[in-house]
Structure 1
């Protein structure tokens, strides 16, 4: 079976995420905006589902693996909706002049765009190829690549000596170095999987693309104006649309992966 120790690698992300998100979320949990709770909960549940499914299949728990599998159909739309909420929450704080968002939110939005598109495609492909062990596991595990830049990017503030808003400008090199590192990790996994490494090749390429878009158009005044114009819009319709899109993507992948019908006319 491929990716034999994937569940341990995924579980190792939780202590890293706790350190990374302590200053901006966990350390002020009681007063954090609702969209942070929604995104944190759905992202956590997604990683736990990946870890659980990796563990069950590698420990002979095939029945449990098959029973838990359809949870993707419910969890992925919630993950999409939570991502939309965090996007509009960032835009609100950008317009309000919050120090971190005022400096980096428009640029980081491009990481979100690429990451969401990547995860959506990988979920579709993972469900479509669920009868091919290597493709199914590869595409779904590769969704975790999209969650690495937010974690490692924030952790880069430790070696960069980020102590407050006056140091936030140093995060530019941290964010870009993080994407180089994450792309390298994805390409290394792809190399080790040889002909079955396509999901991680795509994940690495998507990470590089997000770095390019971070710079252009991320830094342009025109994009900053467009991004600021999103703040007054009500987020609820977009959150609902993201959830509906998640339902459609997951359902399309699920039905695309069904066994071909044996009915119909037999050839002469």
Structure 2
């Protein structure tokens, strides 16, 4: 990166990622499938390596910079593996109708013009899914689900 302070920007991006995924990943890390761990570790390691490599070249540590560049060749397949694993898990969940996002959308926007409901269009099983029941409890009480 040709910018002198780019490591601050990448560090800020890493901080935003950590804050953004705190509730859905970091706070429940033991209950998350392996694919999410591989994706999180590989992606955060990639960003950490980017920051470290940028700092090393600016401090004229050329040998360290080169070693980290070579390390990125080993890390890259791990990064791709994390992407593939997370796509696979997400696709399986979507195909099975276990996608909480669509369940929430189906519940929140249940009237989609006329007598057709979004749950009929998007997820026919959304009405009976556990996620939809959780969304109903949250919406009814305007509170966070205690689960």
Same fold (TM over 0.5): yes
Change (3 A) 1:102 1:167: closer
Q: Which residue of structure 2 lines up, in the alignment, with residue 39 of structure 1? A: 39
Moved over 6 A (4+): 167-170
> Which one has more relative contact order, counting CA pairs under 8 Å at least 6 apart?
1
| Separation in 1, partners of 2:66, 2:7 | 17
Partner of 1:75: 75
**Residue 79 of structure 1, CA deviation:** 0.4
Please tell me the root mean square deviation across aligned C-alpha atoms, in Å: 2.6
- Which residue pairs with 2:18 in the alignment? 18
State TM-score, norm by structure 1. Answer: 0.38
1:174-228 residue CA offsets vs partner (Å, 9 max, x unmatched): xxxxxxxxxxxxxxxxxxxxxxxxxxxxxxxxxxxxxxxxxxxxxxx9xx9xxxx
Task: Tell me how far apart the structure 1 counterparts of residues 97 and 29 of structure 2 sit (CA, whole Å).
Answer: 21
Cα deviation 1:69-102 (Å, max 9, x = unaligned): 1011100011001100000000121123234354
Please list the CA deviations of residues 109-145 of structure 1 after superposition, one character each: whole Å capped at 9, or x if unmatched: xxxxxxxxxxxxxxxxxxxxxxxxxxxxxxxxxxxxx
Q: How does 1:123-202 map to 2 (within 5 A)?
A: 165=104
What is the TM-score normalised by the length of structure 2?
0.66
Change (3 A) 1:168 1:39: farther
Aligned length: 111
CA distance in 2, matches of 1:34, 1:166: 27
Q: Is the alpha carbon distance of 1:169 and 1:53 closer, same or farther for their aligned partners in structure 2, counting shifts above 3 Å? A: farther
Larger radius of gyration: 2
Specify which structure has the higher proportion of helix.
1
Question: In structure 2, do the counterparts of structure 1 residues 93 and 101 end up closer, same or farther at CA, with 3 Å as the change threshold?
Answer: farther
Deviation at 1:32, TM superposition (A): 0.2
| Corresponding position of 1:61 | 61
